[in-house]
Structures are given as C-alpha cells and as structure tokens.
C-alpha cells in the first residue's frame, strides 16, 4: 500500500503515549485519569526494513489513517476499534444512498432467499411485470456485499445501475414492502437512484 503525503492534523487528546527505540530507551506518558483505552497492550517488532505493530485481541479493527507528513518526516498509521455500522452506503452513479442497518439486513435476507429458490411466486410476479429472471444472478453477490459492510470487511457498495446486483435490489424493492419503507426510507431512495441512473 502506497501512502499519500499530507499535513499532520492537530491530535486529539490521547489517553497515554510511549516513545521507544529498539534498545528499550524511551519515554512514557502514562494515563492520568480513569479513561480506558481500546487496547491495554501493544507489541512492536522491529525488522530490517519494516516495523510490525500487534494489538493482542484487537479485532475487529480497521486502519483509519495511513499517510506521510512529508519527505524524511513522519509516517503515521492509525488503527481503531471497529464499531458495527448503523447503515450501509450504496454508491449509484454520483449518488451516495444510506440504507439503515435493519433495512439492509432485511434486503440481504430476502436476496439470500431468492438466490436459494424461495418465493418462486414473487419471482413469477416480477417476471409478469417486466423483471427478467436474470436479476437472480445478482442476488447472492449483493447479499454478500451487504453482509461485508455490516461485518466491517468493506465500506461501501458501488452499484452499476444496469448491473445484476442493481437489478436484484430494484426487483426486490419492486415488491410490496413493510409500511416503514415509505418514500423517505433507504429502500425507496436506493430504488429511486437505480431507476434514475438507468
């Protein structure tokens, strides 16, 4: 992974800090209050051409920042505890559509069911209204993508408006949904975005 170069931002207040070299020389700024850091322990290993940082028991986590502050200056890598997302973000054309986590889970579950051959009556109904069965090929890949966002292994889902995954979402959302799927719901907004970009 190549790092970009940018100015170092002002740091937030840290709980504790250690500056150390491979010989064990260093300076410790211990925690001064009862704040609990995410990780109680961090291991650093020096290699000939690299450094490895291990956070024991730190999963799930993500790299939130990784950059250089300039030539011959700092390399900064920030790792943070991953919090379960409250929404799944879809990118359709130039639009970013946020679908709340409960709605996204419902969509993923429906897609998995359709991919498994469930609800053949609904598939026939959609076909009668012009939805070619080819959308079923996109059902499972889209369900897996949604599950990936919810589990923290990916960030957003880019949908090609005419792709199979978009076809699958559009087909499922063409069926009658819960009353909570009103015009302002993520379901309605995602369906509308797919329709606009076709």
**pLDDT per residue as tens digits for the range 86-134:** 889 999 988 889 898 999 999 999 999 999 999 999 999 999 999 999 9
Q: Are residues 93 and 179 in the same domain?
A: yes
Look at residue 1 in the predicted model and tell me its pLDDT.
67
Look at residue 32 in the predicted model and tell me its pLDDT.
75
Single residue among 38, 64, 81 that ends a domain in this structure: 81
Q: Are residues 100 and 161 in the same domain?
A: yes
Domain count, the chain: 2
Look at residue 83 in the predicted model and tell me its pLDDT.
66
Q: Are residues 95 and 178 in the same domain?
A: yes
Q: Which residues contact 186 (CB under 8 A, 6 or more apart)?
A: 87, 97, 98, 99, 100, 103, 104
Q: Are residues 123 and 182 in the same domain?
A: yes
Single residue among 59, 81, 103 that ends a domain in this structure: 81
Look at residue 91 in the predicted model and tell me its pLDDT.
92
Verdict on whether the full-model pTM lies above 0.75: no
Residues of the chain with pLDDT under 70: 1, 9-12, 82-84, 177-182
Look at residue 60 in the predicted model and tell me its pLDDT.
74
Q: Are residues 73 and 168 in the same domain?
A: no
Range of the domain at 172: 87-196
Q: Are residues 64 and 145 in the same domain?
A: no
Q: Are residues 92 and 163 in the same domain?
A: yes
Single residue among 81, 114, 148 that ends a domain in this structure: 81
């Amino acid at each position: 992974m190549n790092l970009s170069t940018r100015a170092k931002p002002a740091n937030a207040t840290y709980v504790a800090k250690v500056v150390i070299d491979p010989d064990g020389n260093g300076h410790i700024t211990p925690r001064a209050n009862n704040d609990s850091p995410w990780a109680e322990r961090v291991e650093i290993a020096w290699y000939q051409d690299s450094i490895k940082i291990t956070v024991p028991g730190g999963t799930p986590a993500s790299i939130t920042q990784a950059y250089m502050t300039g030539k011959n200056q700092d390399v900064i890598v920030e790792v943070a505890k991953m919090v379960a997302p409250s929404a799944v973000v879809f990118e359709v054309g130039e639009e970013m559509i946020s679908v709340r986590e409960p709605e996204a889970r419902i969509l993923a579950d429906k897609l998995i069911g359709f991919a498994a051959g469930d609800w053949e009556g609904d598939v026939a109904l959609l076909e009668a209204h012009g939805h070619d069965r080819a959308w079923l090929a996109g059902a499972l890949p889209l369900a897996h993508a949604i599950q990936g966002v919810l589990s923290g292994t990916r960030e957003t889902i880019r949908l090609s408006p005419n792709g199979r995954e978009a076809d699958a979402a559009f087909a499922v959302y063409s069926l009658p949904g819960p009353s909570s799927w009103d015009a302002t719901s993520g379901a309605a907004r995602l369906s509308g975005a797919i329709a606009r970009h076709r």
